[in-house]
Amino acid sequence: MVQAQWLQALPFSVCVVGSLPVFCIALYYVALFSWLDVGYMLVLSTMERRICISICCSIIGLCYLWQQWKPMPTTVYFMDVGQGDGAVIVSPKHRIAVIDTGGLKSFDTGSRIITPFLHSLGKSKVELLIPSHSDFDHIGGGVGLARNMKVEKLILPKEKLKDDGLQLMQELLHYVDKDKVEFARQGKEYDLGGATLN
């Protein structure tokens, strides 16, 4: 387990590509079979197989780049995260804000719902994580989300914490750098790139 975590922490050891179009799966297997010299690819010469692999890889790469940079409007997704709330905001510049993460006692909504959803969008970090308050049904999945994805900024509510809320906040702060934590205040604006959050 420790070795797997160490290997995962290496740069470029994990690549989140998101959901590519279905034809990219077919292109991947064409390139793979060309490279492995399997089946119908035996009728092609070495040069023809190299050209086939290059074309397939180029098209898959272009699809990935298009997915990462395609223009899109500000989009808000509301997540089914149990009793509480969970909202994901994606700006036109593909920056992510997560407001509340829900929480179930027997199910980590951050690791099992929000993180896979963001990975399906091709995202590997969250620019803003904003819990509205420290009740478990609003921040319970925040620890799992911060454990699996980089959180650029954590915006905490100004409130007096109860015992269970204090424990949750301490766990969450374990995964977020202290200098990236601030308290919410009225009138503060956050630029998400093509969208502003007040």
The CA distances from residue 165 to 7, 89, 133, 139, 180, in Å, are 32, 24, 9, 9, 20
Per-residue pLDDT of the chain (198 residues; tens, 9 = 90+): 678 777 777 776 767 777 788 899 899 998 888 888 777 777 888 898 899 999 999 999 999 888 878 888 999 999 888 777 789 999 998 899 999 988 888 888 888 899 999 998 888 899 999 988 878 878 888 888 999 899 999 998 887 777 666 778 888 888 888 889 898 888 889 988 888 888
CA–CA gap between residue 43 and residue 17 (Å, rounded): 32
CA–CA gap between residue 146 and residue 14 (Å, rounded): 16
Yes or no: say if 61 and 35 are a contact pair by the CB < 8 Å rule. Answer: no
Helix (H, G, I), strand (E, B) or coil at 197: strand
Structure tokens at 166: 């204090």
CA–CA gap between residue 66 and residue 112 (Å, rounded): 27
Yes or no: say if 103 and 80 are a contact pair by the CB < 8 Å rule. Answer: no
**pLDDT at residue 65, as a whole number:** 86
Taking only the tens place, the pLDDT of each residue in 18-36 is 778 889 989 999 888 888 8
CA–CA gap between residue 34 and residue 13 (Å, rounded): 25
Taking only the tens place, the pLDDT of each residue in 168-179 is 888 888 888 888
Structure tokens at 172: 């969450």
Query: pTM here?
Result: 0.77
Structure tokens at 82: 């149990």
What one-letter code names the amino acid at 84? G
**What are the residues facing 190 on neighbouring strands?**
197
The strand pair at 96-101 and 190-191 is best described as unpaired
